[in-house]
Chain A
Amino acid sequence: MNPKLYASIAVIITGLVLLYGISDFPTFGDPRSPANSGVEGGAPSTSLYYINESYGATKVPNLVTSVLADYRGYDTMFETVVVFAAGMAIFAILRCFGRDDEAVITAPTKSSIDGDHNRIIVGTTCRLAVPVVQIFALYVVAHGHHSPGGGFQGGVMLGASFILIALAGNLNDALGRFSERSYMTLASLGIIIYAGFGVLPQVLGKNFLDFGVLEKFFLTDGPEMARSHSMLGVEIGVALTVMSIMFAIFANLSSRGTLKGGL
């Protein structure tokens, strides 16, 4: 019989079970729900601790940043490693060297960003937009403590600015500005920066990623500001890795691993 019919039956049964399960869930926007304030008669939710205590402990008004980079430092570090590993996997799967005849799309001779008059509107718009995108991305990384933002978001925007160059022109334009050697180096450097901020407190006799002890390096008054500054360093490491790997994924996928021509 039709396999789609079996799939529909299985999906409908699963959906009904899930819909039965959600009938006990708290209503949308309920501040007294277990996730927001803890179970009745039990311990209060962790989120209340973060909302009330994390500003005093880290001096970072953006709770998401302080939870992400300090309280859940291990988690974020290994998420960054997962992104790095995904980039390395794509490199290992797709990248092929020295077989130019397999390149399906040949590289155009003219660069549409640097003065190809057939695509002058696209090229000019892209040339004007990319610096704005990059400056805003740097703002998102650097101001992630005080406003919504941080390393992951800023890193994706930085990567997107290079992808915009590759889309508006061709891949060689983008690779001329951000070569394979650069993005591989920067991706590794991001991980090294993050792990370095973890190892440095260990050298000083504290736990891995225990930023408070770094106050001697940052010349600040107290461990709270040291944590705040270390979080900025950690976010910069995350942004470098995410930016490089996003562009590496695009470059390898769009050119079938040859890094020539592309879209």
Chain B
Amino acid sequence: MVEFLLNTVKPHFNFWVYVILMMIGLWSLIAKNNLIKKMMGLAIFQSAIILFYVSLGVKDGATIPVLDYHGEHADHNAAAKDEPAMTLPTSSAGNPADAYANPVPHVLMLTAIVVGVATLGVALALCEMIFKEFDTLEEDELLRKIKALHDDA
């Protein structure tokens, strides 16, 4: 058991956490009856994916992807001159790009979070209207009421 934890779980502990989080979200999407709880599951699912992406960009010993800024006239400063290395480094040890975390996952997730909030708002608005119409957010009751409506018509 300890061996399994050390050899299999420990090198990928972050991915294990995200898979477990994602499965919690998926489970509540399938098993829960209440629409609000389903949306909570969707939000947990989304958080797992966001954490997954951000963790892909992590480098050991790297700082945030903001370059050291040497004031207004960085170009005239000899020390700052070689700050942005002008050659594309190959995958060898000790290249200057290792000092900064990968910016691309941050960019992708930055917009995903805000869009996630906006789409969650749309989902809540739809739930609001469903509740106004049917007085319930339980899925089985909704199905029964919609079926009764069809049978009447």
Contact residue among A12, A27, A64 (Cβ-Cβ distance under 8 Å from B107): A64
Query: Which parts of B111-133 form the interface with A (CB within 8 Å)?
Result: 111, 113-115, 117-119, 121-122, 124-126, 128-129, 132
Chain B binding site: helix, strand, loop or mixed by DSSP? helix
Q: Which residues of A are found within 8 Å of B126, using beta-carbon distances?
A: 93
Q: Which residues of A are found within 8 Å of B134, using beta-carbon distances?
A: none
Does residue A119 face the partner (Cβ distance < 8 Å to B)? no
Query: In the complex, are the beta carbons of B59 and A30 less than 8 A apart?
Result: yes
Does residue B39 face the partner (Cβ distance < 8 Å to A)? no
Interface size range on A against B: 35 or more
Query: Interface 1/0s, chain B 1-41, versus A by CB < 8 A?
Result: 00000001001111110011011001100110000000000
* Interface of B toward A, CB cutoff 8 Å: 8, 11-16, 19-20, 22-23, 26-27, 30-31, 55-60, 62, 64-69, 83-91, 95-98, 100, 102-107, 110-111, 113-115, 117-119, 121-122, 124-126, 128-129, 132
29 A–B contacts from the bound complex (CB under 8 Å) = A12-B23, A14-B26, A18-B23, A22-B16, A27-B12, A28-B12, A28-B58, A30-B60, A31-B62, A35-B104, A36-B57, A44-B89, A44-B90, A44-B91, A47-B97, A50-B104, A55-B83, A55-B84, A61-B67, A62-B66, A63-B67, A63-B103, A64-B65, A90-B125, A93-B126, A94-B129, A245-B118, A249-B118, A249-B121
